[in-house]
Chains A and B, each alone.
Chain A
Amino acid sequence: MKSAYFSAASLRGLNRMGDVFVPAYDEFPSFSESGSIEMVDNMIAYLPDEDVTLLNIVLTLFSVMPVGFLKWLVRTMENSLDKVGTLPSLMRQLNMGLRGIIFGCYYSGRTGADYQGKNPLDIIGYHINRVED
C-alpha cells in the first residue's frame, strides 16, 4: 500500500510495532495480518504536521529495530504511567500516540483488501444499530 503521509519504511515499522501490541492470538489476527493499516491515512490526515514528521522518524526506526527491542520499548512505555521526569513523559506520549494509531486502525471495522479472516469487531462482538430516519 501507499500512504500520503508515511514512507514505506514507516509503514513497515508501524506493522512491526502493531504486531507487538496486537499479535495473532486465539481468533484475533495480528495487526499486520488484518491489513487494517490500509486506513491509517484517514487518521493521520488530521494530525498536526510536526507530529506526522516525528512519527515518520520513529516508525522508520521501528522498521529496523529487533523485535526484542520493540517489546522492551512497549513494556517501558506501559511502565512509565506513574513515573516522574522528562523521559517518562516522552514514553507516555509515544505510548498514547502509537496506541491511538494501532488500535484506531485495528478496531476501525475495516480490514485490508487481501485479508480473508474475521473482522476484529466481529471477534469481540461489536455491532451497533444506527436508525437514521
Chain B
Amino acid sequence: MTVYDYLVIGSGTGGAVLAYNLSKAGAHVLLLEAGKYLTKETYPRNEADASAQLYWGGGLEFSHDARMAFLRARVVGGSSVVNQALMDRFDAMALDDWRAETGVDFFSVEAMAPYYEKAESHIALHTFVLEERNRNAELFSEGCDALGYEWKFLRRAQSDCAHEKDNDCIGCLGGCHRDSKQSTMVVYVREAEKFGLEVQAEVEVDHFEPGETVRVFAKSPNGAKQYQAKNLILAGGTFGTTKMLYQSGYKPKFPALGKYFSSHPQFMFFGVYDEEINAHKGMFQTVTSKDPKFRKRGFKFENVYAGPISTAMLFNVSGRDHQKIMRNYRYMTCAEVALRDENAGEISVDKKGHLLINKHFTDQDIRRRADGTGALKQILSASGAKEVVESRSYFGLHLMGGARMGVDEKNAVVGPDFRVFGEKNIYVSDSSLIPNAPGINPGLTVMALSHRLSEELIQ
C-alpha cells in the first residue's frame, strides 16, 4: 500500500490550500473528498439538482430539534464552490477575542497579515462598484442612507463574471460555469494536480488510527478503502472533522471535542414593492452593512436573494399563501441579519454515526437577533417596501468550532501548531478550529491559517 507523505481530508478552504502548497513543495500528497469531482462543464444547471448533488443530506441538515438548518457543501472545492466567495480579513475585534479566549498569540491583526497576503495574492479579487448593483442592492443601500447607516461594497473572489454580457450570478451558487468564482477547485486543487497531487473523490472517511504511519479507513461507492500516510491533515470542516475525531475515539481525551460550535445564524427578510425588482438578476450580492454600531451590537446585514426553491422553503406557508408569495418573486428584495452568535452549540455523534447538533440561542443571541431584525425592518421600510415579510426559518452557513485551537487541552483539541494535542503527525486546518464566532465570513481566514500551517510543514 502506498504511504503518502500527507493525506489531506477535505478539499475546501482549509484542505485545498495545504494540498496545493505541500504538492508544490514536492511532497507526495493524497486529497480525499466525500463529494464529487465536478467542473464548470459538469456543475448542475438548476437549483434542484445543485441542492441535491452539492450538499450533505441532499440539501439541508438540521439541528437535533430541527429548528435550525445548516448548509454544508459536499463537492471537490467544498463550500468555496457554492458560497458567495466573500473575502474579508478579520478585524481586531475578532482576532483579539480569539487570542483572549484561547491564549494563541498569533491571533492578531499584525501576526495574521502575512498569511492574509498569501491567501489574497493567490486569488483574483474584485470589489464591486456602483454600476454593478442590481435593484435589490440599490434599494438596500438607499434604505441605509435614509437612516444614516453606513454600507459598503463587498469584495469577492472572482475573475470575470461577464457582467457586461448580462450574466446572472445567482447561477453560480450551484458552481460557477465559467470558472470566474475563485473556488479552491479552480485556484488550488486543479493547480496542485499539475504538481502531482492525487485526488480521490466520493470517498468518505470514517475514522483513522494514529501511529508513525497513520491508517485511514473510508467508504466509497466501490466499497471500503484504506490509506496510509506519514502525516494526516483533517480539513473536513466543523461537522466533518469533529465527526472523524469522534469516530477515532478522541472524545474521552478531549472534553472540548464537539463544543464551542457557532454558525452565524441568518434571518431573512423580504421587502415587497410595486415595481419589478428582479433581485435574482445580474450581480446579485454586492453590498453589505458597514456601520460600526452594528458590529459592536453583534450583527451585520447582507443584501442577498435566493432561487425559487430556496425562497419557497424560506416561507413556512402552503397553498394559496405560498402561491401569492411566489407571484411576488420578481417584486421582492431580500436582506438578512447574520448574528455573531455565542459559541454555545455542541456537536456529537451517536452510535450509528449520525451527527447530533445541539444549537440553541443564548440570551445574548436572542437580544442581538431582536436588535438586528428591528434595524433591518426599518431599512427595508425606508427603502420604500410596501410590506416587509419575515422568514421564520433560519439557518447557519458558517459552521465553526468543534475542534478548536488553544493552548490548553482542557478547553481545546488542537494546539497553536495545528497538531491534535498529543499527536505528532495529525493536524487540523479548517473552520473546526475556530474558537468563537468572528461575525465575519471565515473563508479567507481559514485559507490564511492553512497558509500558516503550510509554511510550518514545509520548513
CA distance A46 to B52 in the complex (A): 6
Q: What is the CB-to-nearest-CB distance from A54 to chain B, in angstroms, rounded to a whole number?
A: 13
Closest 3 CB pairs of A and B: A92-B66, A131-B167, A108-B48
Contacts of A132 in B (CB 8 A): 40, 177-178
A94: nearest chain-B partner, CB-CB: B66
**Cβ B329 vs Cβ A105 within 8 A:** no
Across the interface, do A25 and B60 meet the contact criterion of CB distance under 8 Å?
A: no
A87-131 to B contact mask, C-beta < 8 Å, 1/0: 001101101100110011111111000000000110111101111
Q: Which of A7-15, A16-24, A60-68 contacts B (4 or more CB under 8 A)?
A: A16-24
Tell me if B45 counts as interface (CB < 8 A to partner A). yes
Which residues from A are CB-within-8-Å of B166?
A: 129, 131
Q: Check A21–B318 contact: CB distance below 8 A.
A: yes
Residues of A within 8 A of B47 (CB): 107-108
Q: Name, among B171, B307, B309, B392, the residue most crowded by chain A CB atoms within 10 Å (CB to CB).
A: B309
Tell me how many residues of A have a C-beta within 8 Å of chain B: 49
Q: Are A93 and B66 touching (Cβ within 8 A)? A: yes
CB atoms of A124 and B329 under 8 A apart = yes
For residues 31 through 65 of chain B, which have their beta carbon under 8 Å from a beta carbon of chain A?
A: 40, 45-49, 51-53, 57-60, 62, 64-65
By a CB distance below 8 angstroms, the chain A residues around B45 are 130
Query: Do B66 and A96 touch (CB < 8 A)?
Result: yes
- The answer to whether A104 and B308 touch across the interface, beta carbons within 8 angstroms, is no
Enumerate chain B interface residues (CB-CB to A < 8 A).
40, 45-49, 51-53, 57-60, 62, 64-67, 69, 162, 165-168, 170-171, 177-178, 280-281, 307-309, 312-313, 316-320, 322-323, 326-327, 329-330, 392-393
Question: With A21-B318, A131-B162 in contact, is A126–B62 under 8 Å at CB?
Answer: no
C-beta contact mask, A67-98 vs B, less than 8 Å → 1, else 0? Answer: 00000001000100110100001101101100
Q: What's the Cα separation between A131 and B164 when bound, in Å?
A: 10
Task: Name the residue of chain A whose CB is nearest to the CB of B318.
Answer: A21
CA distance A121 to B308 in the complex (A): 8
**Residues of chain B lying within 8 A (CB to CB) of residue A109:** 46, 48
Query: Would you call B329 and A42 a contact (CB within 8 A)?
Result: no
Kindly state the separation between the CA atoms of A125 and B166 in the bound complex, as whole angstroms: 17
- Could you list 11 A-B pairs, sorted by A, with CB under 8 Å? A43-B48, A78-B316, A92-B62, A96-B62, A107-B47, A120-B308, A123-B326, A125-B329, A126-B329, A126-B330, A128-B280
Complex Cα gap A18–B325 (Å): 17
Are B58 and A43 in contact, CB atoms less than 8 angstroms apart? yes
Contact (Cβ within 8 A) A96 B57: no
Complex partner residue of A46 from B58, B64, B162, B280, CB under 8 angstroms = B58
Contact B316 A124 (CB under 8 A): no
- Report the nearest A residue to B317, measured CB to CB: A78
A121 to B170 Cα, complex, angstroms: 15
Enumerate chain B residues within 8 angstroms of A104, measured Cβ to Cβ: 48, 51-52, 59, 309
Least Cβ distance of B306 to chain A in Å? 11
Question: In the complex, what residues of A have CB within 8 A of residue B280's CB?
Answer: 126, 128
Partner pick for A81 among B62, B178, B316, CB 8 A cutoff: B316
A104 to B309, CA, bound (A): 6
